[in-house]
Structure 1
Amino acid sequence: MSVLKLKLDQEQLVEDFFEDTWLAGIISQAKDYQLCWQINKQLGYDFRVNNSLEINLTKNRRAFYFTVFEYQELTKSAAHYLYNNHCKAEFLLPELKHVDYIWLIKGNYYQDADVKNLIEQCRKAELVQLVSLLDMKDIRNKINLIF
Protein backbone atom coordinates (compact mmCIF):
# COMPACT_ATOMS: atom_id res chain seq x y z
CA MET A 1 0.00 0.00 0.00
CA SER A 2 1.44 3.38 -0.98
CA VAL A 3 1.16 6.42 1.22
CA LEU A 4 0.03 9.61 -0.44
CA LYS A 5 1.97 12.65 0.75
CA LEU A 6 0.58 16.10 0.20
CA LYS A 7 2.93 19.05 0.22
CA LEU A 8 1.78 22.61 0.73
CA ASP A 9 2.98 24.85 -2.06
CA GLN A 10 4.22 27.79 0.01
CA GLU A 11 5.14 29.88 -3.01
CA GLN A 12 1.59 29.61 -4.34
CA LEU A 13 0.17 30.32 -0.88
CA VAL A 14 2.28 33.50 -0.61
CA GLU A 15 1.38 34.57 -4.14
CA ASP A 16 -2.35 34.09 -3.50
CA PHE A 17 -2.29 35.83 -0.11
CA PHE A 18 -0.43 38.88 -1.40
CA GLU A 19 -2.50 39.35 -4.55
CA ASP A 20 -4.06 42.85 -4.50
CA THR A 21 -2.15 43.96 -1.41
CA TRP A 22 -0.09 46.97 -0.32
CA LEU A 23 2.43 47.04 2.49
CA ALA A 24 3.61 50.03 4.48
CA GLY A 25 6.12 50.23 7.28
CA ILE A 26 5.43 52.46 10.27
CA ILE A 27 8.01 53.72 12.73
CA SER A 28 6.55 54.68 16.10
CA GLN A 29 7.72 54.29 19.68
CA ALA A 30 4.09 54.05 20.84
CA LYS A 31 2.44 50.90 22.15
CA ASP A 32 0.38 49.12 19.49
CA TYR A 33 -2.98 50.00 21.06
CA GLN A 34 -1.97 53.69 21.34
CA LEU A 35 -0.88 53.78 17.71
CA CYS A 36 -4.13 52.16 16.56
CA TRP A 37 -6.15 54.66 18.57
CA GLN A 38 -4.29 57.52 16.84
CA ILE A 39 -4.66 55.99 13.36
CA ASN A 40 -8.36 55.35 14.03
CA LYS A 41 -8.79 58.98 15.06
CA GLN A 42 -6.77 60.34 12.11
CA LEU A 43 -8.30 58.15 9.37
CA GLY A 44 -11.75 57.46 10.83
CA TYR A 45 -10.92 53.74 11.01
CA ASP A 46 -11.77 51.17 13.65
CA PHE A 47 -8.65 49.02 14.06
CA ARG A 48 -9.18 46.42 16.77
CA VAL A 49 -6.98 43.65 18.07
CA ASN A 50 -7.92 40.26 16.59
CA ASN A 51 -6.50 37.56 18.85
CA SER A 52 -7.42 34.82 16.38
CA LEU A 53 -4.97 36.37 13.86
CA GLU A 54 -2.08 36.60 16.34
CA ILE A 55 1.08 35.22 14.78
CA ASN A 56 3.11 32.71 16.75
CA LEU A 57 6.74 32.11 15.79
CA THR A 58 9.05 29.69 17.56
CA LYS A 59 12.80 30.25 17.51
CA ASN A 60 15.36 28.43 19.65
CA ARG A 61 12.52 26.72 21.56
CA ARG A 62 11.08 30.10 22.56
CA ALA A 63 7.62 31.26 21.48
CA PHE A 64 7.02 34.79 20.23
CA TYR A 65 3.54 36.26 19.73
CA PHE A 66 2.96 39.12 17.32
CA THR A 67 -0.27 41.06 17.73
CA VAL A 68 -2.42 41.79 14.68
CA PHE A 69 -5.03 44.55 14.58
CA GLU A 70 -7.76 44.41 11.94
CA TYR A 71 -10.16 46.83 10.30
CA GLN A 72 -12.64 45.73 7.61
CA GLU A 73 -13.88 48.34 5.14
CA LEU A 74 -16.98 46.52 3.98
CA THR A 75 -18.14 49.22 1.56
CA LYS A 76 -14.81 49.01 -0.28
CA SER A 77 -14.25 45.26 0.12
CA ALA A 78 -10.89 46.06 1.68
CA ALA A 79 -9.22 44.79 4.82
CA HIS A 80 -6.49 46.52 6.80
CA TYR A 81 -4.11 44.66 9.10
CA LEU A 82 -1.58 46.24 11.42
CA TYR A 83 1.12 43.83 12.57
CA ASN A 84 3.43 44.45 15.48
CA ASN A 85 6.91 43.76 14.06
CA HIS A 86 8.58 43.33 17.50
CA CYS A 87 8.15 40.81 20.27
CA LYS A 88 10.80 40.97 22.96
CA ALA A 89 14.05 40.83 20.96
CA GLU A 90 12.57 39.04 17.94
CA PHE A 91 11.14 40.42 14.69
CA LEU A 92 8.25 39.23 12.57
CA LEU A 93 10.14 40.46 9.50
CA PRO A 94 13.85 40.41 10.43
CA GLU A 95 14.78 42.22 7.21
CA LEU A 96 12.80 45.23 8.51
CA LYS A 97 14.28 45.61 11.99
CA HIS A 98 13.98 49.40 11.79
CA VAL A 99 10.20 49.16 11.24
CA ASP A 100 7.96 48.91 14.31
CA TYR A 101 4.67 48.09 12.57
CA ILE A 102 3.61 46.62 9.23
CA TRP A 103 0.37 47.86 7.68
CA LEU A 104 -1.11 45.48 5.10
CA ILE A 105 -3.97 46.67 2.90
CA LYS A 106 -5.77 43.82 1.15
CA GLY A 107 -8.35 44.20 -1.60
CA ASN A 108 -8.51 45.55 -5.12
CA TYR A 109 -10.32 48.79 -4.24
CA TYR A 110 -7.17 50.75 -3.42
CA GLN A 111 -4.95 51.99 -6.22
CA ASP A 112 -1.53 53.63 -6.05
CA ALA A 113 -2.85 57.18 -5.52
CA ASP A 114 -5.31 56.00 -2.82
CA VAL A 115 -2.56 54.24 -0.86
CA LYS A 116 -0.26 57.26 -1.10
CA ASN A 117 -3.12 59.41 0.24
CA LEU A 118 -3.67 57.00 3.17
CA ILE A 119 0.04 57.10 3.98
CA GLU A 120 0.02 60.91 3.91
CA GLN A 121 -2.98 60.95 6.27
CA CYS A 122 -1.31 58.41 8.57
CA ARG A 123 1.84 60.57 8.76
CA LYS A 124 -0.25 63.28 10.39
CA ALA A 125 -0.98 61.08 13.42
CA GLU A 126 0.94 62.45 16.38
CA LEU A 127 2.56 59.15 17.42
CA VAL A 128 3.73 58.26 13.90
CA GLN A 129 7.35 59.16 13.19
CA LEU A 130 7.56 57.75 9.66
CA VAL A 131 5.39 55.80 7.21
CA SER A 132 6.64 54.48 3.91
CA LEU A 133 5.41 52.14 1.24
CA LEU A 134 7.31 48.83 1.18
CA ASP A 135 8.31 46.92 -1.93
CA MET A 136 7.14 43.30 -1.79
CA LYS A 137 10.31 42.21 -3.59
CA ASP A 138 12.39 43.38 -0.61
CA ILE A 139 10.51 41.18 1.87
CA ARG A 140 12.08 37.73 2.23
CA ASN A 141 9.88 36.43 5.08
CA LYS A 142 6.44 37.12 3.59
CA ILE A 143 5.23 33.77 4.90
CA ASN A 144 5.39 35.23 8.45
CA LEU A 145 2.58 37.67 7.59
CA ILE A 146 0.15 34.94 6.56
CA PHE A 147 -2.35 34.05 9.26
Structure 2
Amino acid sequence: MTILKLKLDQDQLVEDFFESTHLIGIASTAPDYQLCWHINRYLHTNFRVNNSLEITLSKKTRSFHFTVLEFHEPTNSVAHYFYNNHCQAEFLLPELKNIHFLWMIKGDYYQPDDVKKLLEELRHVPLVQLVSLLDIKEIRNKMNLIF
Protein backbone atom coordinates (compact mmCIF):
# COMPACT_ATOMS: atom_id res chain seq x y z
CA MET A 1 0.00 0.00 0.00
CA THR A 2 1.41 3.40 -0.98
CA ILE A 3 0.76 6.48 1.07
CA LEU A 4 0.33 9.61 -0.95
CA LYS A 5 1.49 12.78 0.75
CA LEU A 6 0.21 16.09 -0.50
CA LYS A 7 2.28 19.14 0.25
CA LEU A 8 0.80 22.62 0.19
CA ASP A 9 2.89 24.86 -2.02
CA GLN A 10 2.82 28.04 0.08
CA ASP A 11 4.66 30.09 -2.52
CA GLN A 12 2.07 29.20 -5.16
CA LEU A 13 -0.76 29.84 -2.70
CA VAL A 14 0.61 33.31 -1.94
CA GLU A 15 1.17 34.07 -5.62
CA ASP A 16 -2.37 33.00 -6.54
CA PHE A 17 -4.00 34.87 -3.63
CA PHE A 18 -2.20 38.14 -4.36
CA GLU A 19 -2.59 38.02 -8.14
CA SER A 20 -4.34 41.21 -9.35
CA THR A 21 -4.36 42.85 -5.93
CA HIS A 22 -3.54 46.27 -4.54
CA LEU A 23 -2.86 46.84 -0.84
CA ILE A 24 -3.38 50.14 0.95
CA GLY A 25 -2.17 50.89 4.46
CA ILE A 26 -4.25 53.22 6.63
CA ALA A 27 -3.35 54.85 9.92
CA SER A 28 -6.26 55.83 12.15
CA THR A 29 -6.87 55.58 15.87
CA ALA A 30 -10.62 55.09 15.30
CA PRO A 31 -12.23 51.67 15.74
CA ASP A 32 -12.81 49.74 12.52
CA TYR A 33 -16.61 50.10 12.56
CA GLN A 34 -16.38 53.88 12.97
CA LEU A 35 -13.74 54.32 10.27
CA CYS A 36 -15.64 52.06 7.86
CA TRP A 37 -18.83 54.01 8.50
CA HIS A 38 -17.00 57.14 7.29
CA ILE A 39 -15.41 55.30 4.35
CA ASN A 40 -18.79 53.88 3.33
CA ARG A 41 -20.37 57.33 3.56
CA TYR A 42 -17.65 59.30 1.73
CA LEU A 43 -16.53 56.75 -0.85
CA HIS A 44 -19.91 55.06 -1.47
CA THR A 45 -18.63 51.63 -0.47
CA ASN A 46 -20.52 49.09 1.60
CA PHE A 47 -17.99 47.45 3.92
CA ARG A 48 -19.55 44.92 6.29
CA VAL A 49 -18.01 42.55 8.82
CA ASN A 50 -17.70 38.99 7.55
CA ASN A 51 -17.13 36.77 10.59
CA SER A 52 -16.23 33.79 8.40
CA LEU A 53 -13.17 35.72 7.15
CA GLU A 54 -11.88 36.57 10.64
CA ILE A 55 -8.20 35.71 10.95
CA THR A 56 -6.99 34.01 14.11
CA LEU A 57 -3.32 33.98 15.07
CA SER A 58 -2.13 31.93 18.01
CA LYS A 59 0.90 33.02 19.99
CA LYS A 60 1.99 30.94 22.98
CA THR A 61 -1.23 30.21 24.87
CA ARG A 62 -3.30 33.09 23.48
CA SER A 63 -5.36 33.58 20.36
CA PHE A 64 -5.79 36.91 18.61
CA HIS A 65 -8.75 37.56 16.32
CA PHE A 66 -8.42 40.07 13.49
CA THR A 67 -11.66 41.32 11.99
CA VAL A 68 -12.05 41.44 8.20
CA LEU A 69 -14.74 43.53 6.54
CA GLU A 70 -15.65 43.03 2.89
CA PHE A 71 -17.41 44.78 0.06
CA HIS A 72 -18.06 43.52 -3.47
CA GLU A 73 -18.65 46.01 -6.25
CA PRO A 74 -21.93 45.17 -7.98
CA THR A 75 -20.85 46.31 -11.46
CA ASN A 76 -17.55 44.44 -11.84
CA SER A 77 -15.73 41.50 -10.31
CA VAL A 78 -13.78 43.47 -7.71
CA ALA A 79 -13.72 42.52 -4.04
CA HIS A 80 -12.51 44.83 -1.29
CA TYR A 81 -11.24 43.56 2.06
CA PHE A 82 -10.56 45.75 5.08
CA TYR A 83 -8.32 44.13 7.71
CA ASN A 84 -7.57 45.19 11.25
CA ASN A 85 -3.80 45.11 11.62
CA HIS A 86 -3.87 45.02 15.41
CA CYS A 87 -5.60 43.09 18.15
CA GLN A 88 -4.68 44.00 21.70
CA ALA A 89 -0.86 44.12 21.57
CA GLU A 90 -0.42 41.87 18.53
CA PHE A 91 -0.19 42.72 14.84
CA LEU A 92 -1.40 40.83 11.80
CA LEU A 93 1.62 42.24 9.93
CA PRO A 94 4.23 42.97 12.63
CA GLU A 95 6.48 44.72 10.10
CA LEU A 96 3.78 47.41 9.69
CA LYS A 97 3.16 48.48 13.29
CA ASN A 98 2.32 52.08 12.29
CA ILE A 99 -0.46 50.87 9.98
CA HIS A 100 -3.74 50.24 11.78
CA PHE A 101 -5.78 48.94 8.84
CA LEU A 102 -5.17 47.31 5.47
CA TRP A 103 -7.44 47.70 2.45
CA MET A 104 -6.96 45.02 -0.18
CA ILE A 105 -8.49 45.36 -3.62
CA LYS A 106 -8.75 42.08 -5.54
CA GLY A 107 -9.62 41.97 -9.22
CA ASP A 108 -8.39 43.04 -12.65
CA TYR A 109 -10.61 46.12 -12.91
CA TYR A 110 -8.47 48.60 -10.94
CA GLN A 111 -5.52 50.10 -12.79
CA PRO A 112 -2.70 52.04 -11.04
CA ASP A 113 -4.40 55.37 -11.82
CA ASP A 114 -7.67 54.13 -10.25
CA VAL A 115 -5.79 53.16 -7.09
CA LYS A 116 -4.05 56.57 -6.95
CA LYS A 117 -7.44 58.27 -7.22
CA LEU A 118 -8.80 56.07 -4.42
CA LEU A 119 -5.80 56.96 -2.24
CA GLU A 120 -6.47 60.66 -2.77
CA GLU A 121 -10.15 60.26 -1.92
CA LEU A 122 -9.30 58.20 1.15
CA ARG A 123 -7.03 60.95 2.46
CA HIS A 124 -10.11 63.21 2.74
CA VAL A 125 -12.17 60.75 4.81
CA PRO A 126 -12.61 61.89 8.43
CA LEU A 127 -10.50 59.94 10.99
CA VAL A 128 -7.95 58.86 8.34
CA GLN A 129 -4.53 60.11 9.41
CA LEU A 130 -2.27 58.50 6.81
CA VAL A 131 -2.73 56.50 3.61
CA SER A 132 -0.04 54.70 1.63
CA LEU A 133 0.15 52.18 -1.16
CA LEU A 134 2.02 49.08 0.03
CA ASP A 135 4.20 46.79 -2.05
CA ILE A 136 3.02 43.24 -1.45
CA LYS A 137 6.46 41.89 -2.40
CA GLU A 138 7.98 43.72 0.57
CA ILE A 139 5.60 42.25 3.16
CA ARG A 140 7.23 39.41 5.09
CA ASN A 141 4.12 37.97 6.77
CA LYS A 142 1.75 37.98 3.80
CA MET A 143 0.51 34.47 4.69
CA ASN A 144 -1.32 36.17 7.60
CA LEU A 145 -3.55 37.99 5.10
CA ILE A 146 -4.80 34.82 3.42
CA PHE A 147 -8.19 33.72 4.67
Which residue of structure 1 aligns with residue 77 of structure 2?
77
Q: Distance in 2 between matches of 1:137 and 1:81?
A: 18
What residue identity is the alignment partner of 2:38? Q
Structure 2 CA distance for aligned equivalents of residues 98 and 34 of structure 1? 19
Counterpart in 1 of 2:39?
39
Does residue 1:103 correspond to 2:103, yes or no?
A: yes
Query: Aligned residue for 1:9?
Result: 9
Secondary structure, aligned partner of 2:8: coil
Q: Deviations over 1:88-115 (max 9, x none)?
A: 1100001101100010000000000000
Q: Which residue of 2 aligns with 1:94?
A: 94
Over 3 Å off, 4+ runs = none
TM-score by length of 2: 0.98
Q: Which residue matches 1:68?
A: 68
1:30 Cα shift? 0.2
How big is the alpha-carbon RMSD for the aligned residues of Structure 1 and Structure 2?
0.7
Please state if 1:143 is matched with 2:143. Answer: yes
Give percent identity, aligned residues only.
67
2: CA distance, partners of 1:134 / 1:60? 29
Counterpart residue number, 1:29: 29
Shift of 1:74: 2.5
User: Quick one: distance in 2 between partners of 1:24 and 1:65?
Assistant: 21
TM-score under structure 1 normalisation?
0.98
For structure 1, list consecutive stretches of 5 or more residues without a partner in the other structure. none
Equivalent pairs, count: 147
Alpha-carbon distance, 1:138 to partner: 1.3
1:4 CA drift (Å) = 1.2
